[in-house]
């Protein structure tokens, strides 16, 4: 532990007091926190246990999220303050939008959506790169009570098609392309392909033309974003904020489940705002007028919460960065952004820091950057390895705060509450449960385990405001996936332990979700793709250790007898197939042909054992294994690729 970052005991008392206050009376606590939001009809009641699946928050309140993110700051005199800084090293562009300018952009775009027939409760898919218009799109939907569903740009057409069919959007908002450091990714062909594949057809697609690649337009369906917005502005069209129930959905965000079919996580309007505002105060310690830089993507929950909604609801300034931690142009990119824009808090995934460290282990690129306003680094999205944490602490001289959450939670569950006073840091632990979260560690039978003992990390119901109330159009899957295993608890599918001081340690997933460069991916989904290849008889995908990305997927395939193609050719096709069907974000580069897969006598594939072999870890031979010799065969196949 770096002594300079360990808080003196008195500062932690605010955390203990706040957590105890929540525990003593959650309803009173949340009604108090809710005062940070401008409601149309303020909540009289915090929680209705009879509504929804496990209850609903602020059941009698009404509000508008866009009003809280923009209008109220303009009303309160922040109109001239910068709301959003767009910094795009990949296009050599920088731009700033004040709250007043952003409101104008959003209200005009919202009017365009209304003209296209989008109203309260209608879904709008947003398939956009990291440009300011992506944030405008989300806020424009929120303004008119429409439900946005942002799809990450690194997903391929088929993934987009699945989401189109599930969300059934009236309109899709997109751009002609994304810009990766080494290539321009044309979005429009992907979108056209997805719409062709999908059963549901949107009525219109609004396309933001970018100069790096102009999209060809279909006259009957596609509209030009800039022309529509310019016309709306010229006509003085500004959509008003629409009143929605606090429990109405703000967005659907699809995340990987255990099959190829993603889960549509639903987020409500009221609870989401309340909890985001609370975390800005208690955890991130970023206040009105201060600058937050969340280096993620609007396609992920981290981007929804902390690039767009939380900093704006707080009246802070957000940095929307279109670039990478390295290579755009060098590993000093983050330091430049932090210094140039006076960033107070930087939030990213540990993989970004592993990438920076790999290219600049001495931190030479820090030189010449004034980081005097920089106060804390926040890491989430995957386990933060203690080595990287220590390196970042020593380099930056500010607290490095690991915190744990999921798409489903919508906001951090466990963290070190900087805003309440930093608790002593234990490397490897995201620290303690935040107010609202009752975190437990259970054994397979659902009994609490002793401190320090590994178990399933679960959350006592009800979940706090901002957490998912259900899955889009699928209450049964919600109950089955999250609530069925441990009655009375939400199963996080993360394994870990809680130590004697109450510090939570998150060690890995208990299901077949893997985490590649902070991106959550389903190995089941990849297996579905591999199995679709005509030459594949059987397959298993596991996440194996990767020094940069944390994990990388490795697909073991057994080929059908008598296939004429060479093994190498099939493996190449499999790599290409996953890229085509799921997208480059899957980072699937490794298909390994084996003679057979290790299985139990009941036919269950021993994925965990294969992972241990690949990671070079000791493993116990499962007692129920069908044929122990298969394990050596797997080891040999991996050694042939320099793994294990």
Binding positions for ligand AMP, rule: CB under 6 A:
255, 301, 380-384, 402-407, 430, 492, 494, 506, 509, 515, 520
Tell me the per-residue interface mask from 369 to 408 with ligand COA, x by CB under 6 A, - otherwise: ------------x---------------------------
Q: Out of ligand COA, ligand AMP, none, which partner does residue 314 contact, by CB within 5 to 8 A per kind? A: none
Number of residues counted as binding ligand COA (CB under 6 A): 27
Give the N- to C-terminal CA distance of the chain in Å, as an integer. 31
**Shortest Cβ distance from residue 402 to ligand AMP (Å)?**
5
Q: Out of ligand AMP, ligand COA, none, which partner does residue 436 contact, by CB within 5 to 8 A per kind? A: none
* Identified binder of ligand COA from the candidate list 69, 83, 312, 349, rule CB under 6 A: 349
User: 244: helix, coil or strand?
Assistant: strand
For residues 238 and 110, give the distance between their C-alpha atoms in angstroms, rounded to a whole number: 7
Q: Out of ligand COA, ligand AMP, none, which partner does residue 179 contact, by CB within 5 to 8 A per kind? A: none
Q: Out of ligand AMP, ligand COA, none, which partner does residue 404 contact, by CB within 5 to 8 A per kind? A: ligand AMP
Q: Tell me: does residue 229 bind ligand COA (CB under 6 A).
A: no
User: 57: helix, coil or strand?
Assistant: strand
For residues 601 and 595, give the distance between their C-alpha atoms in angstroms, rounded to a whole number: 17
Interface stretch with ligand COA, choices 177-185, 258-266, 428-436, 556-564 (CB under 6 A) = 177-185
Q: Closest Cα to residue 556, out of 629, 616, 635, 623?
A: 635
* Interior/surface letters 414-426, b for 16+ CB within 10 angstroms, e for the rest: bbbbbbbbbbbbb
Tokens of 370: 């004034």
**Shortest Cβ distance from residue 503 to ligand COA (Å)?**
22
Q: 541 vs 597, which CB is nearer to ligand AMP?
A: 541
**Shortest Cβ distance from residue 14 to ligand COA (Å)?**
27
Q: 22 vs 127, which CB is nearer to ligand COA?
A: 127
> 496: Cβ–Cβ under 8 A, 6 or more apart, which residues?
441, 454, 455, 457, 504, 505, 506, 507, 508
Contact positions with ligand COA (CB under 6 A) in 584-603:
584-585, 587
Asked if the peptide bond before residue 329 counts as cis, ω within 30 degrees of 0, the response is yes
Tokens of 583: 């997208």
**Shortest Cβ distance from residue 643 to ligand AMP (Å)?**
23
Contact 294, 302 (CB under 8 A): yes
The owner of tokens 């065969």 is 633
Q: Closest Cα to residue 261, out of 166, 170, 191, 195?
A: 166
Stated as kind and residue range, the H or E segment containing 439 is: strand 439-442
Q: Tell me: does residue 307 bind ligand COA (CB under 6 A).
A: no
Q: Out of ligand COA, ligand AMP, none, which partner does residue 301 contact, by CB within 5 to 8 A per kind? A: ligand AMP
Contact 546, 521 (CB under 8 A): no
Q: 537 vs 575, which CB is nearer to ligand COA?
A: 575
What's the gap between Cα 256 and its chain centre?
11
Residue 106, phi then psi, degrees to nearest 5 = -70, -40
Q: 99 vs 251, which CB is nearer to ligand AMP?
A: 251
Contact positions with ligand COA (CB under 6 A) in 8-67:
none
Tokens of 87: 């910094």
* Identified binder of ligand COA from the candidate list 242, 339, 352, 401, rule CB under 6 A: 352
**Shortest Cβ distance from residue 508 to ligand AMP (Å)?**
7
Contact positions with ligand COA (CB under 6 A) in 493-532:
516-519
For residues 6 and 488, give the distance between their C-alpha atoms in angstroms, rounded to a whole number: 36
Q: 256 vs 318, which CB is nearer to ligand AMP?
A: 256
Q: 311 vs 381, which CB is nearer to ligand AMP?
A: 381
Interface stretch with ligand COA, choices 258-266, 318-326, 400-408, 602-610 (CB under 6 A) = 318-326
Instruction: Compute how many other C-beta atoms are within 10 angstroms of the C-beta atom of residue 592.
Output: 19
Q: Tell me: does residue 180 bind ligand COA (CB under 6 A).
A: yes
For residues 203 and 170, give the distance between their C-alpha atoms in angstroms, rounded to a whole number: 6
Contact 461, 439 (CB under 8 A): no
**Shortest Cβ distance from residue 73 to ligand AMP (Å)?**
28
* Identified binder of ligand COA from the candidate list 154, 257, 435, 553, rule CB under 6 A: 154
DSSP label at 294?
E
Stated as kind and residue range, the H or E segment containing 537 is: strand 536-546
Q: 354 vs 533, which CB is nearer to ligand COA?
A: 354
Q: What does the binding site for ligand COA look like in residue numbers (CB under 6 A)?
A: 129, 153-154, 178, 180, 185, 296-297, 300, 302, 324-326, 349, 351-352, 355, 381, 516-519, 548-549, 584-585, 587
């Amino acid at each position: 532990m770096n002594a300079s970052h360990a808080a003196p005991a008195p500062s932690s008392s605010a955390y203990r007091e706040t957590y105890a206050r929540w525990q003593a009376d959650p309803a009173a606590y949340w009604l108090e926190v809710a005062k940070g939001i401008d409601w149309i009809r303020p909540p009289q009641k915090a929680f209705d246990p009879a509504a929804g699946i496990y209850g609903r928050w602020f059941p009698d309140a009404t509000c508008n999220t866009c009003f809280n993110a923009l209008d109220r700051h303009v009303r309160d005199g922040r109109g001239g303050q910068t709301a959003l800084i767009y910094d795009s090293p990949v296009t050599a562009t920088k731009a700033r939008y004040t709250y007043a300018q952003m409101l104008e952009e959003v209200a005009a775009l919202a009017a365009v959506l209304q003209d296209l027939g989008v109203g309260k409760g209608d879904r709008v898919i947003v398939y956009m790169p990291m440009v300011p218009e992506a944030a405008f799109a989300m806020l424009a939907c929120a303004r008119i009570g429409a439900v946005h569903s942002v799809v990450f740009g690194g997903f391929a057409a088929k993934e987009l098609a699945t989401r189109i069919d599930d969300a059934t959007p009236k309109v899709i908002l997109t751009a002609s392309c994304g810009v990766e450091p080494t290539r321009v990714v044309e979005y429009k062909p992907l979108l056209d392909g997805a719409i062709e594949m999908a059963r549901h057809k949107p009525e219109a697609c609004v396309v933001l033309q970018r100069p790096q690649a102009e999209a060809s337009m279909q006259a009957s369906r596609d509209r030009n974003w800039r022309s529509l917005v310019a016309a709306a502005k010229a006509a003085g069209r500004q959509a008003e904020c629409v009143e929605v129930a606090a429990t109405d959905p703000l967005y659907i965000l699809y995340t990987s489940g255990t099959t190829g079919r993603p889960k549509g996580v639903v987020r409500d309007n009221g609870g989401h705002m309340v909890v985001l505002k609370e975390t800005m105060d208690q955890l991130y310690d970023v206040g009105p007028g201060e600058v937050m830089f969340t280096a993620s993507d609007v396609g992920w929950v981290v981007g929804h919460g902390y690039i767009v909604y939380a900093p704006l609801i707080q009246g802070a300034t957000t940095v929307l960065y279109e670039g990478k931690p390295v290579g755009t142009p060098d590993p000093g990119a983050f330091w430049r952004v932090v210094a140039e824009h006076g960033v107070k808090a930087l939030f990213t995934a540990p993989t970004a820091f592993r990438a920076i460290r790999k290219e600049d282990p001495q931190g030479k690129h820090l030189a010449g950057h004034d980081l005097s306003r920089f106060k804390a680094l926040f890491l989430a999205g995957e386990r933060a390895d203690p080595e990287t944490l220590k390196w970042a602490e020593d380099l930056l001289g500010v607290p490095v705060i690991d915190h744990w959450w999921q798409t489903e939670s919508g906001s951090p569950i466990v963290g070190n509450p900087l805003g309440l006073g930093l608790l002593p840091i234990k490397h490897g632990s995201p620290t303690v449960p935040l107010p609202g979260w009752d975190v437990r560690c259970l054994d397979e039978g659902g009994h609490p385990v002793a401190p320090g003992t590994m178990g399933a990390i679960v959350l006592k119901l009800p979940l706090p405001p901002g957490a998912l109330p259900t899955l889009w159009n699928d209450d049964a899957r919600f109950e089955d996936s999250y609530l069925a295993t441990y009655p009375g608890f939400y199963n996080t599918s993360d394994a870990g332990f809680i130590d004697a001081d109450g510090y939570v340690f998150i060690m890995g997933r208990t299901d077949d979700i893997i985490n590649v460069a902070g991106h959550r991916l389903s190995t089941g989904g990849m297996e579905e793709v591999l199995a679709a290849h005509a030459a594949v008889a059987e397959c298993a995908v596991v996440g194996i250790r990767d020094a940069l990305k944390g994990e990388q997927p490795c697909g073991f395939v057994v080929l059908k007898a008598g296939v004429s193609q060479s093994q190498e050719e099939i493996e190449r096709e499999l790599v290409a197939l996953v890229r085509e069907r799921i997208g480059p974000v899957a980072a699937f580069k490794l298909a390994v042909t084996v003679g057979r897969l290790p299985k139990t006598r009941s036919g269950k594939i021993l994925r965990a054992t294969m992972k241990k072999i690949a990671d070079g870890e000791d493993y116990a031979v499962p007692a129920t294994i069908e044929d122990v010799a298969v394990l050596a065969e797997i080891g040999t196949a991996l050694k042939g690729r320099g793994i294990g």
